[in-house]
Amino acid sequence: MSKYSLKPWKSNGNDILDADDMVVCSFGKYSEQFTGEEIEEINANAQLIVAAPELLDIAEYSLKIVENLPCECDSYNGFTCKKHEWERKLRKAINKAKGADE
């Protein structure tokens, strides 16, 4: 498992910082090379990165809840219920966030 920076993360407009103000990632030094539209996209991406630790926590918590839901699969007809579909989606996203194989 990867070791993550302290959370919560925040953006100062140029960098993504952890709770100790250590740089998680930086994009500001290239800002003079970008157009206004590209800077908007960078800022939108930065906000997604800032939310990533909380989203991972929520996904892991949600997986625990979904795992305890009743199964409504119909294996005879090959029907997979929503519970297993959501388990698969949550595991895939969590594994992706942790750098594990899908």
pLDDT given at position 64? 96
The pLDDT tens digits of the residues spanning 7-26 come to 788 888 778 888 888 888 87
H helices, E strands: number in the chain: 2, 3
Quick check: 1 pLDDT over 50?
Answer: no
Domain boundaries, the chain: 10-97
Counting other chains too, the contacts that 93-97 makes at CB distance below 8 Å and 24 or more residues apart are 93/59, 94/56, 94/59, 94/60, 94/63, 97/52, 97/55, 97/56, 97/59
pTM of the predicted model over 0.85: no
**DSSP alpha helix (H) spans, the chain:** 36-67, 82-97
The pLDDT tens digits of the residues spanning 29-74 come to 666 677 778 778 877 888 888 898 899 999 999 999 999 988 887 7
pLDDT given at position 25? 80
Backbone angles phi, psi at 27, to 5 degrees: -135, -5
